[in-house]
Structure 1
Amino acid sequence: MDIEPLSDDKIIDSWRRNALPWMNAVRCGEIESRRLVTDQAMLDAVLACEPATVVDLGCGEGWLALALQQNGIDVTAVDVVPELVLAATEAGLIDGRVLSYEEITAGRLKLTVDVAVCNFSLIGKESVDGLLRSMQMLLKPDGSLIVQTLHPLITCGDLPYVDGWRKGSWAGFGETFSDAPPWYFRTLHTWLELMWTSGLTLREMREPLHPRTGKPASVIFRAQVRR
């Protein structure tokens, strides 16, 4: 069956093809912005909540889940790509699970936590919309959702500042990468509106600055369920 090139299904298909080179790139520190600012910024944002329990949604090869686990936090890490979850558990992650965002939205995860984290893992359209609505099932009272994503004003480039699908690129990565996943661009206003319509209230927004460019390397949202 052909997969629509600009779709949530294509994102998953592309990540399955690139699981191994991605794991190697992250673990070898090949992504400068992550090495210099965004990894630590996300870790700091989560630790500031002082959680006892965390679920890492779209955990990839597991670096964040492992870092939180090393800080004494009970972490469940979830990804739709089995190879990435296996890499995380082989590196020492205690609780790794293979689930899609659609399965989580349908109630398959069956846990509640102090903090849910999505670190550069909300790049689709319908799957992301559904996942944010599911926070009411996943978060304990006063729990927080922490999302780090590409900063819309920086990543918009020369294209119009409007929501819509965009083609992906592995520019700056090695030749082992192929078939870059597409991503759904959201303006800053759309991100905030999506959280509100998903039953979430924004509590904090951070814009980690790249030390070399002085521009935002990402944007981090912390939101809580309106009860």
Structure 2
Amino acid sequence: MTETPTKLANLSASWEAEARQWIQWARAPGHDSYWRFHRDQFLRLLPPPGRQTLDIGCGEGRLARDLKQLGHRIIGVDSSPSLVTAARESDPSMDVRLADACALPLDDACTDLAVAFMSLQDIDEMPAAIREAARVLQPGGRLCLAIVHPINSAGKFEEATADAQFVIKGDYLHAFRYADAVERNGLAITFNSQHRPLEHYFLALEEAGFLVEALREPALPDHCIIVGPGRRWQRIPYFLHLRAVRP
């Protein structure tokens, strides 16, 4: 499977440029969805700790640190030198490697669990990253991933009201780059990502030999609704979670 090439700076370089802002954003407890609900919803999809857990696109390491606390033996990989440095500094005992997700510095069949938490939409060659995940997983090993739900990256609500219409004005069925500039509680960051339809992800999983075991479409939980307009996000999923097995 191939995707439309882009002349923009690659996503890895874009995230390295935002590394300082991301470290501040990611490490502010309670600041974003990770702390309020997203992490816990994702963890329900994971099998228990086993032989070894690979965190693909580990960033500054917040999920890797949480997984380690839960008993996982972690190897983290990321292509951003600044984020790898931050992850190592936060826990020098953790194995964090500077590497491309499409060329993992790991042996074949060396791990039983790979997680890609909110990273695949930020990788230019997503199908190659999924093939690499399949290569390093032992038979029966699992890949658990979370991405921005493609319906979310394709469209938007027309206004900030509980009953606002959600509209896709562009092209859902083809990949395209997008950038979301967000400011909240004095912190600002631009998220650079690639929209892909669901078919692109499922074709990549199919071609890498994965079988999908579970799929979830998390919406905003009740406890996260502060004012009524936020309920619009209980009608459209924020994210997509998926667990697949390498037979």
TM-score under structure 1 normalisation? 0.85
Paired with 1:122 and 1:164, the residues of 2 have a C-alpha distance of: 13
Percent of aligned pairs sharing the same letter: 26
Change (3 A) 1:207 1:8: farther
Equivalent pair of 2:11/2:124 in contact (CA under 8 Å): no
1:216 aligns with 2:237: yes
1:68 aligns with 2:53: no
Instruction: Please state how far the C-alpha of 1:123 moved relative to its aligned partner.
Output: 1.8
Residue 55 of structure 1 corresponds to 54
Equivalent pair of 2:11/2:123 in contact (CA under 8 Å): no
Residue 168 of structure 1 corresponds to 179
Greater Cα offset, 65-74 or 132-141? 132-141
Which has the larger Rg? 2
Paired with 1:164 and 1:142, the residues of 2 have a C-alpha distance of: 31
Instruction: Please state how far the C-alpha of 1:86 moved relative to its aligned partner.
Output: 1.5
Change (3 A) 1:8 1:195: farther
Paired with 2:70 and 2:118, the residues of 1 have a C-alpha distance of: 21
Paired with 1:24 and 1:149, the residues of 2 have a C-alpha distance of: 21
Give ranges in structure 2 of 5+ residues lacking alignment.
156-167, 226-232
Aligned counterpart in structure 2 of residue 109 of structure 1, from 106, 111, 123: 106
Instruction: Please state how far the C-alpha of 1:11 moved relative to its aligned partner.
Output: 0.9
Paired with 2:123 and 2:28, the residues of 1 have a C-alpha distance of: 30
- Within-5 A mapping of 1:18-29: 18-29=18-29
Instruction: Please state how far the C-alpha of 1:141 moved relative to its aligned partner.
Output: 1.9
Q: Secondary structure at the match of 2:66?
A: helix
Kindly report the root-mean-square deviation, in angstroms, between the aligned alpha carbons of the 2 structures: 2.3
Q: 1:156-179: CA deviations, max 9, x gaps?
A: 10222212112212223556546x
1:133 aligns with 2:144: no
Change (3 A) 1:7 1:185: farther
Which amino acid in 1 is paired with 2:132? S
Instruction: Please state how far the C-alpha of 1:138 moved relative to its aligned partner.
Output: 0.9
Equivalent pair of 1:202/1:222 in contact (CA under 8 Å): yes
Give ranges in structure 1 of 5+ residues lacking alignment.
none
Change (3 A) 1:129 1:206: same
Instruction: Please state how far the C-alpha of 1:33 moved relative to its aligned partner.
Output: 2.3
Instruction: Please state how far the C-alpha of 1:191 moved relative to its aligned partner.
Output: 1.9
Residue 96 of structure 2 corresponds to 96
Instruction: Please state how far the C-alpha of 1:126 moved relative to its aligned partner.
Output: 5.1
- Within-5 A mapping of 1:178-197: 180-181=191-192, 183-197=193-207
Paired with 2:123 and 2:98, the residues of 1 have a C-alpha distance of: 20
TM-score under structure 2 normalisation? 0.78
Paired with 2:122 and 2:24, the residues of 1 have a C-alpha distance of: 23
Count of aligned positions:
216
